[in-house]
Amino acid sequence: MTKAFMNTRRSCPSRLTSGLRQFSITSSRLQTIPVQVSATGTGFVQKVSVPGKPFQFSTDAYTVLGGKESHPSPIAYSLASLSSCNQVTGSLVAKDLGITIGEWNVEVEGNLPTEVFVGGKEGNPNWKSVTLKARVQSNLEGGNDNPQFQQFIAQIERRCPMTALFRNSGVVYSSDWINEPL
């Protein structure tokens, strides 16, 4: 447990947190999750670590940009974050709604214009469009038309921090969810 995490837990008086929903492994007193990464690198390659955790990963650029593609690009990691965050959020939502979830299969595709990012033109270097396609095994019968499955999707898309980040950035965001039997 990091010092920042412990300080966050202690800083909330319990009388203010009695009505908050509890996270599966975190205290109901936790109102924010402190997140920090640090990195070192040269050229296009960067080694990223999470202080206080044994996690490390590296990034590199596509060869067309001058990198060697020795590691996934930060661009690929941004889409991976969207995929993973939807699954984590979906697991929390499923627990809240009493839905049993099995395997997830998620694909994310994005179109990133290069005029600003690579070419240096004025404008927004953001994604043009991003599409998430998710197939989720659940105990809900009736396929995609099941009202509980529709509520499940709506809650995921409302609560997922990465979905909000992409949507609020102005990117054309779309998703396609499929309910599969367990």
Q: Could you identify the residue written with the tokens 């039997």?
A: 181
Q: Assign 30 a pLDDT band (cuts: 50, 70, 90).
A: confident
Instruction: Name the more confident of 2 and 163.
Output: 163
**pLDDT category, 28, cuts 50, 70, 90?**
low
What does R_g of the chain's alpha carbons equal in angstroms? Answer: 19
> Residue 12: what pLDDT?
39
Per domain, the residue ranges of the chain are 43-72, 74-181
List of residues 6+ apart from 84 with CB closer than 8 A: 162
Q: Please give the residue that has the higher pLDDT: either 25 or 134.
A: 134
Report pTM.
0.82
Using CA atoms, how far apart are residues 2 and 127, in angstroms rounded to an integer? Answer: 34
Going by CATH, does the domain composed of 74-181 fall within 3.30.300.20? yes
Per-residue pLDDT, averaged over 73-102, amounts to 98
